[in-house]
Amino acid sequence: MGAAAFVMIEFLEIPLTTLLIAAAVPAAMHFWGVFVQVHFEAKRLGLRGMNEEELPKLWPTIRDGWPTVIPLVALVWVIVDGYTPYLAAFVGITLCVIVGFLNPRNRLTLRDLWEALDMGARYALAVGAAAAAVGMVVGVVTLTGAGFRVGFIVTQAAASTAQWFAPIFDILPASFGSLAGLTLFMTLVFVALICIVMGAGIPTTALYIVLAAIAAPAVVQLGVPPLAAHLFILYYGILADLTPPVCVAAFAAAGIAGSNPFRTGLTAFRLGAAKATVPFVFAYAPVMLINAVSQQLPTLILAVYFGPAAAGFFALCRQAMSMPTNLIGKSVADVYYPRISRAIHDGEPVAAMLIKATAALALVGLVPFSLVVAFGPWLFALVFGEQWQVAGEFARWLALAEYLVFVSRPCVVAVPALSLQRRFLVFEIFSTSLRVLALFGGAVLIGDALATVQAFAAAGVVIYLTLMVMVIFQARRWYVQQRATA
């Protein structure tokens, strides 16, 4: 994703660690698929690897080349630790120069440094010019509302195309699909084609900015989660580099390999064809994104082990219980982030602010969530009918977890402000693992739908209590360090 990742987290207002975790599994699957294809293609063609005596020796290679890893490790460390991309780039470039001059095996000369600076300036000018042009395009799109207009046109075209197949769906059983499902599919196809055409020959970052303004709204309008929608457009935009006849990346590879550019492009497209299906998985199964486990995996587990009725009850409860967080919690986050950032800049006691804000939200949400915990089955039976009383049992337990999600919004907002992204990465892995264990424990070991929901809710309680304690502790520690150095 490169620099586009930093632009994406600004669009979506999420931590970088969340994006990295979400993109890890599909990226690993893609590269594994390419590796397997190349391996068996080489076996079919009778290609062999280098002889053992031709291979470089492991220890001498590590001994001579290990200093070159220092800038990369430092760059990743600074980014994950929550510093700005500008500082991360400065640290990486500075360490590259220092390591280059100090490495006795392959020492950097002043001429090499001058050529590197010259090449970097040329690339920066090219990207800067493209970004400036893209900025004007995005400004026009935003001010005129053309992005949403394009999204409306795409969805209308997809709906019209789907209507052609309406008589077929009237004949087929419901299990074969629906008109709404076909509309979503056609919209994704049209958006994918737009992304590929617009991505031909455009740098990744500039391309993503344009697609986020024009193509992403069309996908989000159909209920696809924003993170999945933005990864969808980014994947297809980058796929243009492998798609003939433009296939810029294939032309560059052909220049290195001394091969025919067009044949190289066709081969690259064949090897990367699976990449064209991955974005559809984002749209239809966002659970493939690791941090979306809390959104989709519980419904999937309940449907597989206990039937669609249990999954439907859970989905309704989850939607109802998350409404306060989506409405009030989002507004609190938008207002609170500038306030806590200013407090950190001024050296104020952030921990006290977090405790006060958390306590205020706890009081606001105490009555409505307590009512659901106490009278959930009766409320759901009264509002939706007697058959939904089981959903009220689910809601009784989900209300506990959602109450802590609601209360923890100030602490979640404080994570990037306090530069806790590195710890938040570990926390994301911990929370995902705990939720998965809870779901499979309730479904497989206990074998009861209510027990599965109870285990999932208990995991949520533990997760968000841990998050609040961790953030408040780190905020208090930060303030003590600031006082000590003042």
338 falls within a domain: yes
Q: What is the pTM of this model?
A: 0.57
Q: Using CA atoms, how far apart are residues 419 and 344, in angstroms rounded to an integer? A: 11
Largest CA distance in the chain: 81
In the chain, the number of structural domains is: 2
Which pLDDT score, from 0 to 100, does residue 448 have? 86
CA distance 375 to 381: 10
**What is the rounded average pLDDT of the residues 57-82?**
79
Neighbours of 147 (CB within 10 A): 21
Does pLDDT of 286 surpass 70? Answer: no
**Does residue 133 have a pLDDT over 70?**
no
Q: Tell me if 32 is assigned to some domain.
A: yes
pLDDT at 457 over 70: yes
Q: Say if residue 12 is in the same domain as residue 147.
A: yes
Say if 93 falls within a structural domain.
Answer: no
Q: Which of 236, 260, 288 is the last residue of a domain?
A: 288
Task: Centre a 10 Å sphere on the Cβ of residue 345 and count the other Cβ atoms it contains.
Answer: 9
Q: Do 282 and 320 lie in a common domain?
A: no
CB 178 within 8 A of CB 224: no
- Cis-peptide, bond into residue 298, ω within 30° of zero: no
Q: What is the DSSP letter of 325?
A: I
Is there a single domain that holds both residue 283 and residue 406?
no
Residues in the chain: 486
Which of 288, 316, 350 is the endpoint of a domain? 288
Calpha distance 283→298 (Å, rounded): 17
Asked if residue 422 and residue 349 are part of one domain, the reply reads yes
Which residues neighbour 96 within 8 Å (Cβ) at sequence distance 6 or greater?
A: 71
Give the pLDDT band of residue 5 (cuts 50, 70, 90).
confident
The better pLDDT of the pair 436, 105 is held by 436
Closest CA to 310 of 442, 144, 477, 126: 442
Do the domain assignments include residue 140?
Answer: yes
Is the model's pLDDT at 174 over the cut of 50?
no
pLDDT > 70 in the chain, percent: 84
Kind and range of the H or E run holding 412: helix 409-417
Q: How far is the C-alpha of 269 from the C-alpha of 263, rounded, in Å?
A: 10
- 38 pLDDT band, cuts 50/70/90, is confident
Single-letter residue type at 460: G
Render 149-190 in DSSP notation, one character per residue: HHHHHHHHHHHHHHHTTHHHHHHS-GGG--HHHHHHHHHHHH
Residue pLDDT, tens place only, 237-259: 888 777 777 677 777 777 777 77
Q: How far is CA 120 from the centre of its chain?
A: 29
Q: Angle of helix 409-417 relative to helix 330-346, nearest 10 degrees? A: 40
Is residue 341 within 8 A of residue 419, CB to CB? The reply is: no
Domain enclosing residue 316, as ranges: 293-485
pLDDT of res. 175: 44
- Does 244 share its domain with 325? no
Q: What is the mean pLDDT of residues 93-111?
A: 83
Mean pLDDT taken over the chain: 78
Q: Please tell me whether residues 281 and 311 are part of one structural domain.
A: no
Report the distance separating Cα 396 and Cα 211, nearest Å.
Answer: 42
Q: Which pLDDT does position 465 carry in this prediction?
A: 92
Domain end among 257, 288, 319: 288
Give me the pLDDT at residue 279, please: 80
**Same-domain status, 301 and 235:** no
For residue 372, the tally of other CB atoms under 10 A from its CB is 23
Which bin fits 145, alpha (ψ -120 to 50), beta or left (φ > 0)?
left
Note whether 40 and 150 are same-domain residues.
Answer: yes
Q: Are residues 308 and 444 in the same domain?
A: yes
104 belongs to a structural domain: no
- Nearest CA to 290 out of 425, 457, 421, 419 is that of 425
Dist. CA 484–CA 486, nearest whole Å? 6
Question: Residue 12: inside a domain, yes or no?
Answer: yes
Which span out of 220-224, 320-324, 346-350, 465-469 was modeled with the highest average pLDDT? 465-469
**Quick check: is 91 in a domain?**
no
Identify which of 211, 212, 231, 325 has the alpha carbon closest to the alpha carbon of residue 285: 231
Q: SS3 of 178, please?
A: coil
If asked whether residues 325 and 260 sit together in one domain, one would say no
Tell me what the mean pLDDT of segment 296-310 comes to: 80
Residues 33 and 179 in one domain: yes
Does the pLDDT value for residue 328 go beyond 60? yes
Which range among 40-54, 286-300, 318-332, 447-461 has the greatest average pLDDT?
447-461
Domain shared by 321 and 364, yes or no: yes
Neighbours of 165 (CB within 10 A): 14
Within a domain: residue 62? no
Q: How far is CA 51 from CA 54, 56, 108, 110, 378, in A?
A: 5, 10, 32, 38, 74
SS3 state at 318: helix
